[in-house]
Amino acid sequence: MTALIFSVAILAGVLFVVMYLTLLERKFAGRLQSRIGPQRVGWPFGYLQPVADAVKLLVKEDVIPEVADRKAFNLAPVLVVLPVLFVFAVIPFGENLVLADLNIGVLFVLAISSITLIGIFMAAWGSKNKYAVLSGMRAVNQMISYEVPLVISSLVPVILAESMNLSDIVAFQDRAWFVFYPVLGQLAFIVFMVSAMAEANRIPFDITEAESELVAGFMVEYSGMKFAFFFLAEYAHMLAVSFLAVILFLGGWQGPWLPAGVWLALKVFMVFMLILWIRWSLVRIRLDQILALSWKVLFPLSLLVLLLAGIWKMW
């Protein structure tokens, strides 16, 4: 019974936080670009803006193009959002505050998060729009090639903490966070962050929904509630990535003076702001350069990091 309440709490919490993350991003991006950001709805800080967005997306007519393949078109958003929400089931929010304490936590997270790729390609192929198909191809290319460095670099904490269970990894880090291991920690963290950002289609890798070339990528035919799903999935994916980064490398809720929960929130907030900051200051790079970066740079780097982790463990 408590698991049910806990899971509903997590779901509501995630949706609420994601809604206000959109506001955070727009205010932060505004300040970065020396403008104010949304403030008209909910006067001083625009805190009602996410509610306005949600209502707008709910009320908007949900258009299904006549040419589209209806089954794939309707199922795609579901297949994109659900895996990301499943990831939150495994994440430990506190000492033993976790919905499902799987002892194969990391494997579960990596497996689930690659299902979004199927959803994205279904959306692209289902909407039968040339732009969407082109962007669907790109999404497949990019996400598969970044799956490999992501998996290998997230193996490093598993090796160091000798367990795939996320709570054990966090427990192991009470003495020193993995990121502070001499060369090993920083390299693994960088590879993990870069490939996680590529996984979540964020600048400078947001080639799939590149406005300047492909209008809106695979989301071009979606509107109304289905578009809200994609929107929600993107931010939830970013949130999941920052949670993962914090747990695997920055020692979860470990932290000297403050209570556990505050430390976790603070670290996730910092990682999230880092992703935003990178997003609003870099220019997008081309698809072939993205693939080259993944195979020629990140993949060998992650192998090296794995080797270092092995040596570190043996020694």
Partner 1 sequence: MAFIKEAWDVTRSVGQSMGVVFKNLLRKPTTVSYPYVKRELPDRQRATFALLTNKETGEEKCTACLICQNICPSQVISMVKEQVNNRGFAKEFTLDLGGCIFCEFCVQACPQDAIVMIKLWENSEVDREKLKLNKQNLLDNQKYQPSEMIGSKIREMQSPPKAAPKPAEPAP
Partner 2 sequence: MTNPTNPTADAVHPLQTQVELEGDTLLINMGPQHPSTHGVLRIILTLKGEEVIKAEPVIGYLHRGFEKLAENLTYIQIVPLVDRMDYIANVTNELAFCLAIEKLMKVEVPRRAAYLRVLTSELQRIASHLVWLGTYGLDLGGALGGGTTLFMYCFREREIILDLFEELTGARMMYNFNQIGGVRYQPPAGFGLRVREVLKKLDKAISEYQDMLEDNYVFKVRTKDIGILTPQLAKSAGAEGPVLRGSGVKFDLRKNQPYSGYEEFKFDIPTGQKGDCLDRAKVRIAEMKESLKIVYQAIEGLPEGAISSRPSVRVAAAVKTPEGEVYSRIESPRGELGVYLVSDGSAKPYRLKWRAPSFSNLSLLPQLVAGHKVADIMAVLGSLDPVFGEVDR
The CA distance from 121 to 265, in Å, is 33
Token output for 2:
């408590």
The answer to the question of residue 45 lying near partner 1 (CB under 8 A) is: no
40, 56, 70, 313: residue in contact with partner 2 (rule CB under 8 A): 70
Site string for partner 2, 14-33 (x = CB under 8 A): ---------------x--xx
- The interface partner of residue 159, options being partner 2, partner 1, none and the CB cut-off 5 to 8 Å by kind, is none
8, 11, 16, 69: residue in contact with partner 2 (rule CB under 8 A): 69
The answer to the question of residue 183 lying near partner 1 (CB under 8 A) is: no
Number of H helices, E strands in the chain: 13, 0
The CA distance from 194 to 199, in Å, is 9
- The interface partner of residue 111, options being partner 2, partner 1, none and the CB cut-off 5 to 8 Å by kind, is none
Binders in 274-293 for partner 2, by CB under 8 A: 279-289
The CA distance from 149 to 182, in Å, is 20
- The answer for residues whose C-beta is within 8 angstroms of residue 70's C-beta and 6 or more apart is 64, 126
Evaluate whether 226 touches 77 at the Cβ level (below 8 Å).
Answer: yes
2, 5, 33, 59: residue in contact with partner 1 (rule CB under 8 A): 33
Q: How far is the CB of 141 from partner 1 (least distance, A)?
A: 21
Residue 273 sits at the vertex; the CA angle it makes with 77 and 237, to the nearest 5 degrees, is 20
Helices (H), 91-129: 105-113, 115-126
DSSP secondary structure string, 67-95? TS-HHHHHHHHHHHHHHHHHHHHH---SS
Helix axes 105-113, 225-249, angle to 10 degrees: 150
282, 292, 307, 311: residue in contact with partner 1 (rule CB under 8 A): 282
The answer to the question of residue 30 lying near partner 1 (CB under 8 A) is: yes
Q: What residue type is 11 in one-letter code? A: L
Q: How far is the CB of 283 from partner 1 (least distance, A)?
A: 8
Q: How far is the CB of 310 from partner 1 (least distance, A)?
A: 23
Residue ranges binding partner 1 (CB under 8 A): 30-36, 39-40, 277-278, 280-282, 297
Residue ranges binding partner 2 (CB under 8 A): 29, 32-35, 66-71, 130-131, 134, 137, 203-204, 206-207, 210-215, 279-289
